[in-house]
Amino acid sequence: MSSALLVIGFFLAFALFVGIRAKGGRTMNLEQWSVGGRGFGTVLVFLLMAGESFSTTIFLGASGWAYSKGPPVFYILAYGCLAYLLGYWILPAVWRYATAHKLVSFSDFFASKYDSRSLGVLVSLVAVLGMASLLIIQLRGLGIIVSEASYGSISQPMAVWGGALAMISYILISGIHGSASIAIFKDILIVSLAVFLGVYLPLHYYGSYGAMFQAIEAARPGFMQMPAEGLNLSWYNSTILLTMLGYFLYPHVFISVYSATSAKAVRRNAVVMPIYQLVIAFMFLVGFAAILKVPGLQGADSDLALLRLAKATFDPWFIGVIGGAGILTALVPGSTILLSASTLIAKNVYQQGFAPHATERQITLIAKCVLPLFGLLAVYFVLRGGATFVALALFASSLLTQLFPSFFFSLLPRRFGNKYAAFAGIFAGGAVLGAITLSGKGLAAWLPGWPVAVQSLNAGLVALAVNLAVFVVVGTLTHRRPMLPTAQALSS
Amino acid sequence: MKLSHLLAALPLAAIYSGGLIAEHVPFLLAWNALWAILTSVIMAVMFHHDGSSIE
């Protein structure tokens, strides 16, 4: 056990060292701190994007959902591929616009496109709420991984505090350079580990993949079929569509595009990323291998499937390596979320909402003050407990996807829509999503008597449809008001 | 319609039809993994074809 603890301690110290050293001799102005001075090549942008593709949602959640839900988990593999297919056209357009207008935060894009500082504030509030859910996932995952991998000698709260403080420390000093530097080591380690676990564990326990799935089918007949109700085909397809559309509206993924050195670097990434999603399939295989070997994990505990199976199989030092890899998968996306959230609160809420004449130096200072506060708030919610990783991720995705109509229409060559349509659409979609989520009931309770295929749709997609309809109606009714402008919002 | 748009429609149609096929024949794991590879291959062709579309 002490060997696991030593290895985990080494990984955390190493990450902190690499993250802080990444500052180098750079002067950290706002652009350098938040988007790396727009100087990241194909590899660094890839690593930042891969950070989101392979966060603790995947490390624990993908294997956990394979363990508890079966085939519905395959939506994760599908939406990543399709999101990057969409990104092939969208991401270069975002990069070109962001570079031309020197944008540094996620909300800058909307505020500039629609020439509306107040829209920037609204988008910031939606984004902060979505990112808070995503940060909670990373910190909670980090706590579980460290606590489990240290055989309980480090408690979950202690691990969460340690991880959050490490994250805050290096991101305050090095900004996005810290995340990118750690991502280099994280990706090499996590890909090797995922492939090893996904191959070794099923073969070790069952002899072959075929034997594993046949054993599951024999023990739990029908488990490998898509369910007829609930997480059925209708849910599967609607969730792929929702998460695919919302993928690039994760603010920390969005600003990793800003950091690229060229549109070509961004597009190259879009080409490579679908094949990278295959790593996730190995996590599914670990979850399936755990079904018959560590039975009985219920609810949120199903996220422990990978760690419990690994602990039953490997020596403590190797569990320490798995724990160390888990720390890195939480630190990279967690720190970019912190960076993105603090930048948009400082720039789009503080400056555009309250202090339009604030200098860049003041905005940077506000961002660096907000960053630890946002992190501590996330720690508070982590320690309160909650839903499974995938459930939290789906909520964040549903919320952030409500920005898609405004985002999409702003990219069209023949522009349609204005700030009134954007406001109305986001409010309508957010209200529908909020009502369904807060009621705690599925769509079936809201649409009694409707076909199962409709009742099983992802609620976020229904909210998105309402959002889109409202955007089009309001955009049409107000089309004589100022259309999308020449983007003076930020410079004013 | 550009060649790249036609090519992009392939993985989109294939991945969405995967669920429907699964109901009539793990299949979805193999299908999605196959299309993850093919999507990258198709996009590489698109990238090569569109190379001049991106100073």
For A300-323, write each residue's pLDDT tens digit: 788 889 888 998 999 898 999 999
Write phi, then psi, for A323 (nearest 5 degrees): -60, -40
- Tell me: pLDDT of A289 over 90: yes
Q: State the Cα–Cα distance between residues A123 and A262, nearest whole angstrom.
A: 26
**Assigned domain for A408 exists:** no
Per-residue model confidence (pLDDT) at position B52: 44
Q: Inform me whether the C-beta atom of residue B9 falls under 8 Å from chain A C-beta atoms.
A: no
State the residue range of the domain holding B22.
3-50
* Longest CA–CA separation in chain A, Å: 70
Among A87-91, A289-293, A473-477, the minimum mean pLDDT is found in: A87-91
**Assigned domain for B55 exists:** no
State the residue range of the domain holding A47.
2-393
Highest mean pLDDT among A52-61, A140-149, A200-209, A350-359 belongs to: A200-209
- Tell me: pLDDT of A230 over 70: yes
- The average pLDDT across A430-451 equals 77
Per-residue model confidence (pLDDT) at position A465: 92
Number of domains within chain A? 1
**Assigned domain for A28 exists:** yes
Query: In A360-393, which positions are buried (b, 16+ CB within 10 angstroms) versus exposed (e)?
Result: eeebbebbbebbbebbeebbeebeeeebbbbebb
Look up residue A475 and give its two tokens.
């955009």
Per-residue model confidence (pLDDT) at position A483: 45
- How near does any CA of chain A get to the CA of B20, in Å? 8
**Assigned domain for A249 exists:** yes
- Residues from chain B contacting residue A275 (CB–CB below 8 Å): 36-37, 39-40
Interface of A with B (CB under 8 A): 71, 74, 77-78, 80-82, 84-85, 88, 92, 213, 224, 226, 233, 236-237, 240, 262-264, 267-268, 270-275, 277-278, 281, 284
Per-residue model confidence (pLDDT) at position A202: 94
CB count in 10 Å sphere of residue A270: 25
Closest A-chain CA to B37 = A275
- Residues from chain B contacting residue A85 (CB–CB below 8 Å): 8, 11-12, 39, 43
**Assigned domain for A452 exists:** no
**Assigned domain for B31 exists:** yes
Number of domains within chain B? 1
What's the length of chain A?
492
**Assigned domain for A428 exists:** no
The residue among A43, A175, A34 whose CA lies nearest residue A106 is A34
Per-residue model confidence (pLDDT) at position B54: 41
A213: CATH: 1.20.1730.10
Q: State the Cα–Cα distance between residues A259 and A74, nearest whole angstrom.
A: 31
- The average pLDDT across A409-436 equals 84
Per-residue model confidence (pLDDT) at position A52: 58
Average pLDDT across chain A, whole number: 82
- Residues from chain A contacting residue B17 (CB–CB below 8 Å): none
- Tell me: pLDDT of A294 over 60: yes
**Assigned domain for A441 exists:** no
**Assigned domain for B45 exists:** yes
